[in-house]
Amino acid sequence: MKNDQINVDIATKVMGWKLYECYGLWVDHKSAGRSNDQYYSTRMSIPKFCTDLTAAWEIVEKLSSDKGSRFHLDHGILWKAQFIDKKTGLRTHATAKTAARAICLAALKGIK
């Protein structure tokens, strides 16, 4: 899977964002519909989750706060990212050449 598609999948399936094409804005879907527009979280573009570790860390924070997932990151020949659902014990992991990509792939495996 190419990085651009992974970035879109992370934004929509993991982060819960929605693209409003007429405005060219990504909106945090969970904040949409609130009575006060100042609480909307908007972005002009999707972060490069697959290549930017700071952006990928937003995924870890999101899954930790929303689902109570625990997270482990190890490095050997490849990076291995693993999310563990505290409620079910379900473990999803992925390996990649970079930590950011491994985080993305593991997060996407957990939502399928």
% pLDDT > 90, the chain: 54
Per-residue CA distances from 26 to 17, 19, 83 (Å): 6, 4, 26
Whats the size of the chain, residue-wise? 112
Does pLDDT of 23 surpass 70? no
With cut-offs at 50, 70 and 90, classify the pLDDT of residue 110.
Answer: confident
pLDDT band at 46 (very low <50, low <70, confident <90, very high): confident
With bands split at pLDDT 50, 70 and 90, how would you rate the model's confidence at 9? Answer: very high
Judge contact between 2 and 13, C-beta under 8 A: no
Write down all domains in the chain, each with its CATH number in brackets.
3-111 (3.30.2120.10)
Q: Which of 27, 24, 32, 55 is nearest to 42 (CA)?
A: 27
